């Protein structure tokens, strides 16, 4: 039995190929907004970080009604680090709308999201987007998409995919390039015609599979999922089955469905609908809500394992507790455990009461968590990101990434040399558009830590870099990616111009005059490969012939502004990043210089022996 007046689709694509913009146009042209209502661009990216960075981080649900058919839409992230958001929603939809840029063609994440969709048996509908670009090549891109389908082992029915051409930004779609169109109706007609209606028997016992978890301070945990069979009602009693096999009796306090950007309370909903339920304290992603008379849980789709980890530790610097609202180990532990409820790709392991090993898909995955926590008032410190090694058949193996680079031909030699230093192996080189060259490498994931900023410097900002997890391979040997040491403050106090002027002759500064520092805090990067201590608080001694205003003649170079990503790329194994709601501070793990020298001597002695 199918629900003919219902369609459930997910929009998947590589980052920046236009998913969220397309959803904007669907919502606007379907009448989801009032005529004079102000609607911001990328309305689905309602998280502050998403709007600032211009990327989608979390999968989100919405719906539109077109020709008496309700279309539930899931907008998914395009970045590889948030692939778990794509993996967890495959049970929620019956088809995917694969969006591909008419100039760039299939990109690394296009391959990843399409493979997940094909493996789940979902019906694909291809949309070649941005056909209004002057340099677009829609027919060539369509051939590349077909090659990708074949390469991923698509079956006969999947290879016969429907195609539409669109400009999400301009708000139109067409089935043939020569057609005239000024809206999205041709694409919406194609969705209703080609995407199968959800299957499920409304008369069978209830099966509701939970694919997403949110949290509300009033309602508690909120679960979103698709009703696979049966019907569900408000205040209904049911059985909650989690992925470990545990079962408990629960009551559905509230029941809602999506209408546009709103959640509308419902009295009951039937098979095929995507719903939101609350009132269940222990609900988690992968759980199944079943009827009392028939308990039949749904198997959970396996999620790819994390490849990068870092330690989150309680801040113990001299400035600890001055800027954060949540600073204790209990606060840190509770927040990380709460993150596990919704972030299916994340893993948290308690090493000590004050230290937690947090593992994720990549640097961006973990940096978004760090930035979110600091904006919520948390204060803590983190270690350098490191890859997760595995023992496979008695051999130590490490995660490998497939790296895709697009650069002007004048930078090809520099990029190959830079990736080679990081144990990268060139697999393929091809001509791109104009003077661009496309390079493909296989590189250890640890070789990519800190490489993005180096890459942008090497290519003078003209290169494009993408990467995606490949597999685990035998360890490639020691790798030294940082060639310069740190400038470490020798004294605590306020940085002054005279002390900074002396320090800047040794390297590059990260702080300006007036910044509060403490002994052991990193204030810059040394021009050489070793760490040196500098006294940035040192003031010029006054004499009878030297005026107190003599410092005015000193000129300081503008310090380098260290973003969160730059800090994570910079820190070494013996360093920490102190994170507070107001400040990011780099510091040595051991603050006292004498203790650091002893530890360094012991380390070198152990190496020699």
Q: What angle do CA 219, 220, 221 make, to 5 degrees?
A: 115
User: How far is residue 49's CA from residue 564's CA, in Å, rounded to a whole number?
Assistant: 13
Yes or no: say if 325 and 237 are a contact pair by the CB < 8 Å rule. no
User: How far is residue 420's CA from residue 403's CA, in Å, rounded to a whole number?
Assistant: 12
The DSSP bridge pattern shows strands 486-489 and 507-509 to be unpaired
**How would you label 521-551 residue by residue, b for 16+ Cβ within 10 Å and e otherwise?**
bbbbbbeeeebbbbbbbbebeeeeeeeeeee
* Displacement of CA 562 from its chain's centroid (Å): 20
User: How far is residue 211's CA from residue 274's CA, in Å, rounded to a whole number?
Assistant: 10
Q: What angle do CA 277, 45, 56 make, to 5 degrees?
A: 95
**How would you label 486-517 residue by residue, b for 16+ Cβ within 10 Å and e otherwise?**
bbbbbeebebbbbbbbebbebbebbbebebbb
Q: Annotated binding residues, as ranges?
A: 16-21, 129-132
Q: Residue 8 pairs with which residues in a beta bridge?
A: 72
Separation in Å, CA 80 to CA 304, 360, 365, 425, 525: 11, 11, 9, 21, 31
Q: Annotated binding residues for GTP, as ranges?
A: 16-21, 129-132
User: How far is residue 230's CA from residue 239's CA, in Å, rounded to a whole number?
Assistant: 14
Strand positions, DSSP E, 459-583 = 464-474, 486-489, 493-494, 507-509, 516-517, 521-526, 532-534, 575-579
User: How far is residue 333's CA from residue 123's CA, in Å, rounded to a whole number?
Assistant: 41
């Amino acid at each position: 039995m199918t629900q003919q007046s219902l369609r459930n689709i997910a929009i998947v694509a590589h980052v920046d190929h236009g998913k969220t913009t397309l959803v904007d146009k669907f919502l606007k042209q379907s009448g989801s907004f009032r005529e004079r209502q102000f609607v911001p661009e990328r309305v689905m990216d309602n998280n502050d970080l998403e709007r600032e960075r211009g990327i989608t981080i979390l999968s989100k649900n919405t719906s539109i009604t077109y020709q008496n058919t309700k279309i539930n839409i899931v907008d998914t992230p395009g970045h590889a680090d948030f692939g778990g958001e794509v993996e967890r929603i495959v049970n929620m939809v019956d088809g995917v709308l694969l969006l591909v840029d008419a100039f760039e063609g299939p990109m690394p994440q296009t391959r990843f999201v399409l493979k997940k969709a094909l493996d789940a048996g979902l019906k694909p509908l291809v949309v070649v987007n941005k056909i209004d670009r002057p340099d677009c090549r829609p027919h060539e891109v369509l051939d590349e998409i077909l090659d990708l389908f074949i390469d991923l082992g698509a079956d006969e029915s999947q290879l016969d995919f429907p195609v539409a051409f669109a400009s999400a930004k301009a708000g139109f779609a067409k089935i043939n390039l020569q057609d005239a169109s000024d809206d999205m109706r041709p694409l919406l007609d194609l969705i209703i015609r080609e995407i199968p209606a959800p299957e499920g028997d409304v008369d069978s016992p209830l099966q509701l599979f939970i694919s997403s978890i949110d949290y509300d301070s009033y309602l508690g945990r909120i679960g979103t999922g698709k009703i696979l069979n049966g019907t569900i009602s408000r205040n209904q009693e049911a059985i909650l089955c989690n992925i470990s096999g545990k079962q408990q009796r629960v009551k559905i306090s509230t029941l809602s469905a999506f209408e546009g950007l709103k959640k509308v309370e419902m009295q009951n909903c039937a098979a095929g609908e995507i719903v939101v339920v609350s009132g269940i304290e222990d609900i988690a992603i992968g759980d199944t809500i079943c009827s009392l008379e028939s308990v039949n849980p749904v198997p959970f789709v396996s999620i790819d394992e994390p490849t990068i980890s870092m330690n989150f530790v309680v801040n113990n610097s001299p400035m600890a507790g001055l800027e954060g609202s949540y600073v204790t180990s209990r606060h840190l532990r509770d927040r990380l455990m709460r993150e596990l409820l919704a972030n299916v790709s994340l893993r948290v392991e308690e090493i000590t009461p004050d230290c937690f090993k947090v593992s994720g898909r990549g640097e961006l995955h973990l940096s978004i968590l760090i930035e979110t926590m600091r904006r919520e008032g948390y204060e803590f410190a983190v270690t350098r990101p490191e890859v997760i090694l595995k023992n496979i058949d008695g051999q130590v193996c490490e995660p490998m990434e497939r790296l895709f680079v697009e650069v002007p031909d004048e930078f090809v030699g520099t990029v190959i040399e830079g990736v080679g230093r990081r144990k990268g192996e060139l697999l393929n080189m091809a001509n791109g558009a104009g003077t661009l060259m496309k390079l493909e490498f296989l590189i250890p994931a640890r070789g990519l830590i800190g490489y993005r900023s180096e890459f942008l410097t090497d290519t003078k900002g003209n290169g494009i870099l993408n990467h995606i997890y490949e597999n685990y391979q035998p360890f490639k040997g020691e790798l030294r990616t940082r060639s310069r040491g740190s400038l470490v403050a020798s004294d605590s106090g306020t940085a002054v111009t005279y002390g900074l002027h002396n320090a800047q002759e040794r390297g590059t500064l990260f702080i300006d005059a007036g910044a509060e520092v403490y002994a052991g805090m990193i204030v810059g990067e040394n021009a050489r490969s070793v760490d040196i201590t500098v006294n940035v608080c040192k003031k010029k001694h006054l004499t009878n012939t030297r005026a107190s205003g003599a410092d005015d003649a000193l000129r300081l170079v503008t310090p380098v502004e260290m973003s969160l990503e730059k800090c994570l790329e910079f820190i070494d194994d013996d360093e920490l990043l102190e994170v507070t709601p107001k400040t990011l501070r780099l510091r040595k793990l051991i603050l006292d210089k004498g203790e650091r020298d002893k530890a360094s001597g012991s380390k070198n002695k152990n190496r020699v022996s």
